[in-house]
Amino acid sequence: MLLAIDIGNTNTVIGLFDGERLIDHFRAASEHSLTIDECGFFVSGLLERLKFSPDKVTQVVIASVVPRLTPVYEGMARKYFKREPLTVSSRLNLPIKIGYQDPTAVGADRIANAVAGFVRFGGPLIIVDYGTATTFDVITAEGVYLGGVIAPGPETSGGELARRAARLFEVRIEKPARVIGRTTAESIKSGLFYGTVGQVDLIIQLIIEELMTPARVISTGGLAPDFAAESKFIEATYPTLTLDGLKIIAGYSVQ
């Protein structure tokens, strides 16, 4: 079985694969003070909940954008699962080519998304990932990862707005009942929601114009279900796209 771990700035997503099948996945807060043992107890507990023992795990693959947590999860894989983890980077053997000016600067989660998207759908492809940052990744028909766009995610924007404006505060990120807010909370919620919707569609439009060819557009990320349905361009949402990419990379790297 394959244990796939996607360590993000806000959340860490852990998935367990049996062959091609994703048995289950879990989302937890990315605690930057986590120790190897705490991490081991947590992940082992998830497996016990699924009625699997650690010795059933034959491979561990990790994508991390949190340098503090990368060695923690790597150490956990060695100590609790007796496996040498595969940590995703542009240096691995991949089914796509990284066309970024500095390939080592591409986030592991973006690499995993691009791999899963291209293997499943081909290109040209645009992937929108709604998370701490809203990222846009562009893959050509030939499987070249061109790069993309990184913008603040709605929760990040809302938190910074509350921090900088003395009379404003954080609100739940969700579609408001109306665009014109009748209270401060409604007004903030409308701005964050529709501001994100408008931002995403404009950036997609500009990317397509720059590519000068039609492109398929898909989305992923924890907030994707809240926003993707409002987009004029996004045709489908795949919540486990990053985990799928990790599984593909784990299999491809051993070929």
Q: Which residues are catalytic, by number?
A: 109
Nearest to 113 by CA among 97, 132, 126, 124: 126
- Are the C-beta atoms of 183 and 171 separated by less than 8 Å? no
CA 31 to mean position of chain CA atoms:
17
Residue 218 makes CB contacts below 8 A (sequence gap 6+) with 117, 121, 125, 126, 127, 128, 234, 235, 236, 237, 238, 241
Residue matched to tokens 């990368």? 70
Q: How far apart are CA 243 and CA 12, in angstroms?
A: 11
Residue 132 makes CB contacts below 8 A (sequence gap 6+) with 8, 9, 10, 153, 155, 156
Nearest to 21 by CA among 240, 205, 191: 240
- Render 101-157 in DSSP notation, one character per residue: SSGGGS-HHHHHHHHHHHHHH-SSEEEEEESSEEEEEEE-TT-EEEEEEEEE-HHHH
- Render 53-98 in DSSP notation, one character per residue: -GGG--EEEEEES-TTTHHHHHHHHHHHH----EE--TTS--SSEE
